[in-house]
Chain A
Amino acid sequence: MDKLDLPQGTLDLLILKAVSLKPEHGWAISERIHQVSRATLQIPQGSLYPALHRLERRGWIKATWGASENNRRAKYYELTRTGRKQLDAETDAWKRLTSAVGLVLEMA
């Protein structure tokens, strides 16, 4: 299947969603999105870390250093309370947007 470019502004939403279940480090976040989207979405690696730092600055995720699966020091990001609210709001907005776009496209 072809890879798709991420639409503008969706990177933040995907990252928030990816860390909403449990704390994850950067590489795992990008892998996870890649897998879950069945290899359709590929996060441009150059934008991942700046995005993580931006979200951290906004206070939506917070970072802690922990041991990784193979027992190396890694930086884990997890969702904060405001981050969760933001995720809910953005998810909602995204759903409404896609269904609206879908309606228009299916117009007879």
Chain B
Amino acid sequence: MISDLLYRLRALVRRGAMERELDDELRFHLERETEKLIRMGMSRDDATRQARLAFGGVERIKDDARDARGIALLDTVAQDLRYAARGLRAKPGFTTAVVLTLGLGLGANAAMFGLVDRLMFRSPEYLRDVERVHRVYLQFTTRDKESTDNSFEYTRFLDLTRWTTSFDATAAFAQRTLAIGSGEDARETPVGTVSATYFNFFDAHPALGRFFAASEDTTPAGAPVVILSYGFWQARYAGSPAVLGKTIQIDRTTFTIIGVAPEDFAGITDAAPPAMWIPITTFAGVVHAGESQHSYYKNYNWGWLQMLVRRKPHVSVVQATADLTNAYRRSVVAEAALDHSTPHLESSRPRALAGPVQFQRGPLAGRDGRIITWVSGVSLIVLLIACANVANLMLARALRRRREIALRIALGVRRSRLLAQLLTESILLGSLGGVAGIVIAEGGSRILKSVFLRDEASLGVVTDWRTLGFCAAVALTAGVLTGLAPALQAGRGDVALALKSGAREGTYQRSRLRAALLVLQGTLAVVLLVGAGLFVRSLRNVRALRIGYDVDPVLVVYHQLRGTSLTNEQQAVLARRLEERVRAIPGVETATRSLTLPFWDSWSVGLYVAGIDSVRRLGRFSLQGGSPTFFRAMGTRVVRGRGITAEDTKNAPPVMVVSEAMARTLWPGRDAIGQCIRVGADTMPCTTVVGIAENIKARSLTEDTGLDYYLPIEQFHPENANLIVRVHGDARDYVETVRRTLQAEMPGNAYVTTNAMREVIGPQERSWQSGATMFVAFSALALVLAAIGLYGVIAFDVAQRTQELGVRIALGAQVGDVLRLIVGAGLRFAVVGVAVGIAIALLASRFVTPLLFGVSARDPVVFGAVGVVLVVVATVASGIPAWRATRVDPNTALRAE
């Protein structure tokens, strides 16, 4: 065994010497054999030939001998690598084309992988026993429609904790944006509100101080203590250890700093990572108190937090879900005891389930998540196109090297060695492409981040080992795949034929494999372009959507009193003053007070209508209150009856305006105007419907039910008013002016926040926007790659056919004939690609439909346009080499060999 190893080692180290010895040894053998044959009476020539014939291929024997020496693998790999590197250096154009093509394909994929990994697969930093940790989701049926939710009331969280036995830990968490600091320094900052048990889910030790004690997280109100994030500690306190015991103002409460979380700790968050954490009962009982949430731990009115559980080691997910569902049903019964309007168990069929920790893998994964999945698929297709391209380039190269390869086979090189050599070359190319890909991904991930991720979390490829590993694996696979086809083809074929033919003669022949690869590229490009077209049209439709109010000239204002205590009457006065003040700003057309703001908050109270058992069961009706100017400021049309007027004062008879959808839902087939609704309780006096307004979309752009109604704000909670302002021109130009003007009116610590409606709506359009952006980017990349591929193949063909074309021109072929001949060949590929691509896109249309808006997945305009684009691109890509072919000088072409 040891001698074996020593021998191999010696063989490796003394490789050169041993090669020479082998040569000597074989030459000696041949000489002796020849001598013997001469002695037997042959002529020297015959003897030499006979000896060689009997001996067989020298190269093969050498190979076998090397194998026998046991250094074959190492030796040949090193040899092949040197050989491959030499070959690649000799053809810089080819090498650059391949590396860039692979780099683009790989880069796009590595960047996408980084994103998908972060959103879907990677568990949060520090989380321990990941496979046993779940987010809890609640499901219930309303009007025969099952819906899923992950927002819990605090009481529900307590119920599901105390009535389950499957878990060794449960925690509640929520994230809020709160004003931190005081005076001019005050900034709205994301704050995590978490139960004391939350930190038990992580293998994290505080960088400083400690985490929450159970005694700091108690009902009705927890202790005013705060744990800072590492980043916030570094930025605000320069990492000073003296920070423990210091105080910081959050909203209007003063908190004591008791700890600092470790670096990179973000907990479980779906938005920007929190800058600090406070006990959840401190938030509910202290910060958020005074907004009628006094018994948040006893009632079921306020769903605002999420629940986290960790299964006991031997409890299965199914058992855990069953246990949770039992507890949830019990909890719904408890809720019904407090609130008689709670739907019955039989109709609501409540279920609770233990879902994945990663939100985007859970049942509520948003359109963003689904679009990311699609775009990852798309980036894989781009990689496929890149690979097809590279394979084609390699095939062309292999064809060009047919004589070289045939020669080597004739010399006795085994085909398996030849394959290994060609594969080594393509793997080397793949690796170079991988490096290029990482560089490209580094830039690409920055773009992806800005499109898909809001937070400032880093998404560096070079620092991310998982992405790097993925990239390396894909690069190697791509190398092997692209090298395989040409290598196999090179290994086949008639050696004698290849040797006999000249450099050009007979070498022009179509390869079916190359044609298939070209068609594949065209097909994939068509599929992606169709996707891009559909997404762009969806985005345009979403943008053009009538959402029931104007966006560009509107801005929204909300204010926070933050500790400034005002009576209800004083608050109402302040709101009226703000409305008047903002109207006086030049350029402001009008303004209205409003109870809620679109895509910001909504309000609903119980409604009672004669003849309807449970209005709640018909849907969720959202309440809005406004000034007489409300509909004008919003731009919402009142389609029948009247809007809110100055006569609708506190003491006038209560009135409301309802949306068309609400009118249809509550009084189908009847006139809503004049109907009576009791608001809040069935003992309240009648509120009379006086008008019908167009539907608005205030919660979702595409799925809003539009069940809204409007009350005169003077008749309903005038103290809770925010502002909606309509300006001449673009509201974004007024945001700062309005903020400064109104801030001057605010008493004490109170502050206002202003936002252009466009900025509020923006995030709602984001998934459409990002889908369209990514599809366009990737399909453009695919188209470019496919065009390069087609160009490369046609150019290669033209080069191979120079002689033939020369003959044609010499025989009188016109420029047009040659062009037709070559462009026609290119177009054939394109047309087949278009046909197959369109067929695939039609088959896939069923699956994209839910991601589109207002456009059929079989939209003829998109399909037609894509076909035209591909044909035009194919014409250009094959036209350039074709044009070059027409300039062939028949004299030169015919003489060349």
Query: In whole angstroms, what is the CA distance A68 to B35 when docked?
Result: 14
User: Scoring A residues 27 to 54 as 1 if CB is less than 8 Å from chain B, else 0, what string do you get?
Assistant: 1100100000000000001110111111
Q: Which residues from chain A contact B334 at a C-beta distance below 8 Å?
A: none
Q: Which residues from chain A contact B68 at a C-beta distance below 8 Å?
A: 50-54, 57
Query: In whole angstroms, what is the CA distance A57 to B72 when docked?
Result: 13
B44 within 8 A of A: no
B60 within 8 A of A: yes
B339 within 8 A of A: no
Q: Are B69 and A53 in contact (CB under 8 A)?
A: yes
Q: Which residues from chain B contact A54 at a C-beta distance below 8 Å?
A: 68
Q: Are B4 and A46 in contact (CB under 8 A)?
A: no
Interface SS majority for chain A: helix
Q: Which residues from chain B contact A53 at a C-beta distance below 8 Å?
A: 65, 68-69
Shortest beta-carbon distance, A66 to chain B, in Å?
Answer: 11
Q: Which residues from chain A contact B31 at a C-beta distance below 8 Å?
A: 72
Query: In whole angstroms, what is the CA distance A106 to B219 when docked?
Result: 100
Shortest beta-carbon distance, B152 to chain A, in Å?
Answer: 72
Shortest beta-carbon distance, B54 to chain A, in Å?
Answer: 6
The listed residue (A49, A72, A74) touching B64 by CB distance below 8 A is A49
Shortest beta-carbon distance, B12 to chain A, in Å?
Answer: 12
The listed residue (A49, A59, A68) touching B26 by CB distance below 8 A is A49
B546 within 8 A of A: no
| Contact flag A46-B56 (CB < 8 Å), given A26-B29, A73-B28 | yes
B561 within 8 A of A: no
Query: In whole angstroms, what is the CA distance A46 to B32 when docked?
Result: 16
Q: Are A25 and B28 in contact (CB under 8 A)?
A: yes
Q: Which residues from chain A contact B3 at a C-beta distance below 8 Å?
A: 58-59
| Contact flag A27-B32 (CB < 8 Å), given A46-B64, A49-B61 | yes
Q: Which residues from chain B contact A52 at a C-beta distance below 8 Å?
A: 65, 68
Quick one: which of A65, A68, A74 has the most chain B CB within 10 A? A74
Shortest beta-carbon distance, B109 to chain A, in Å?
Answer: 44
Query: In whole angstroms, what is the CA distance A103 to B26 when docked?
Result: 42
Shortest beta-carbon distance, A52 to chain B, in Å?
Answer: 8
Interface size class of A (residues with CB under 8 A): 20 to 34
Shortest beta-carbon distance, B512 to chain A, in Å?
Answer: 36
B33 within 8 A of A: yes
Q: Which residues from chain A contact B55 at a C-beta distance below 8 Å?
A: 45-46
A75 within 8 A of B: yes
Quick one: which of B3, B26, B55 has the most chain A CB within 10 A? B3
User: Scoring B residues 18 to 44 as 1 if CB is less than 8 Å from chain A, else 0, what string do you get?
Assistant: 000110111011011100100000000
B163 within 8 A of A: no
Q: Are B28 and A72 in contact (CB under 8 A)?
A: yes
Q: Are A75 and B61 in contact (CB under 8 A)?
A: no
Q: Are A45 and B65 in contact (CB under 8 A)?
A: no
Contacting residues of chain B (34-88) with chain A, CB-CB under 8 angstroms: 36, 54-57, 60-61, 64-65, 67-70
Query: In whole angstroms, what is the CA distance A57 to B68 when docked?
Result: 8
Q: Are B69 and A57 in contact (CB under 8 A)?
A: yes
A56 within 8 A of B: yes
Query: In whole angstroms, what is the CA distance A38 to B11 when docked?
Result: 37
The listed residue (B28, B36, B64) touching A50 by CB distance below 8 A is B64
Q: Hey, which bits of chain A sit against chain B, CB under 8 A?
A: 25-28, 31, 45-47, 49-54, 56-59, 65, 68, 72-75
8 sample A-B contacts, Cβ–Cβ < 8 Å, listed by A number: A45-B56, A49-B25, A50-B64, A50-B68, A65-B21, A68-B32, A74-B25, A75-B28
